[in-house]
Amino acid sequence: MNKLLITGIIIISVLSIIAVFAPFVAPHDPNNIDEASLLTPPSGKYLLGTDQLGRDILSRMIYGARISLSVGLIAIGIATILGLILGSLSGYYGGILDNIIMRFTDIMLCFPTFFLILAVVAVWESSIFNIMVIIGLTSWMGVARLIRAEILSLKEREFIQAEKAIGASNLRIITRHLIPNAIGPILVNVTLGIAGAILLESGLSFLGLGIQPPTPSWGNILIEAKSTLGVAWWLTVFPGLAILITILGFNLISEGIRREL
């Protein structure tokens, strides 16, 4: 029994269920302002306390889970599709196409990803859609290099040569044989990538360049807590723990998959 994989799946499954059923799970409206309960510590009415506007932290964190998980899944989905396409073409066809794609990949890797995202976000509007697209378009390089390496080793195997001998098309060979046989390392990379994307979104929101208030995300809950850091400890501790547990869950899944394979 792979305890790491099971533990990670349980953590992410619980978080996903909470995020999907946020309207039913959240005890309060995340944007409801209660002027009589400003900076209230954890209590029976507000389990994780309130912020400087009297909004329930637990409800905002539950809705924030929707944002963080959506950004992670969709952004890495975009990055994985791009990486699979470019890496497959590069590894299978080789030659000039391989050189062009890999040199472009190397150029993209030369730019520090976080600062590249900061530059793009500064130009574009900081909407959730833009954040997901930006992270996706700047995170495909690892997947591309990984799938290229796998295909380079697989395309000379006997079963691929047999497919070519019976006249199978290049598209069929790539999609039906090469990519499925290289999927293991990709799954490990994807789960790590989701964790990284969630951390990136939280960092951008913390800097004020990510998801904009009043839409709750774990990152902007943290930045709103900066001014009350010495007074309301719960505003930083609970969102920070949520990010930590989510990243841990995806890392456990990634390590569990790696051990299984």
Domain that holds residue 253: 55-260
pLDDT of residue 104: 92
Query: How is residue 226 written in tokens?
Result: 């900066």
Low-confidence ranges of the chain (pLDDT < 70): 1
Specify the CATH number for the domain of residue 205: 1.10.3720.10
In a domain, 10, yes or no: no
Q: What is the pLDDT of residues 209-260, one digit of tens each?
A: 777 777 888 888 888 787 777 788 888 888 889 989 999 998 898 888 888 8
Which helix H or strand E contains 240, and what residues bound it?
Answer: helix 234-260
Report the distance separating Cα 126 and Cα 142, nearest Å: 25
In a domain, 122, yes or no: yes
In a domain, 176, yes or no: yes
Q: Is 233 helix (H, G, I), strand (E, B) or coil?
A: coil
Backbone angles phi, psi at 85, to 5 degrees: -65, -50
In a domain, 170, yes or no: yes
pTM to 2 decimals? 0.84
In a domain, 148, yes or no: yes
- Cβ(137)–Cβ(82) under 8 Å? yes
Domain count, the chain: 1
Q: What is the pLDDT of residues 178-187, one digit of tens each?
A: 888 888 888 8
pLDDT of residue 1: 61
Q: Residue 234 is which amino acid?
A: W
How many CB atoms within 10 Å of residue 252?
A: 23
pLDDT of residue 13: 93
Those residues whose C-beta lies under 8 Å from the C-beta of residue 123, and which sit 6 or more positions away, are none
Three-state DSSP string of 16-49: HHHHHCHHHHCCCCCCCCCHHHCCCCCCCCCCCC
In a domain, 12, yes or no: no
In a domain, 145, yes or no: yes
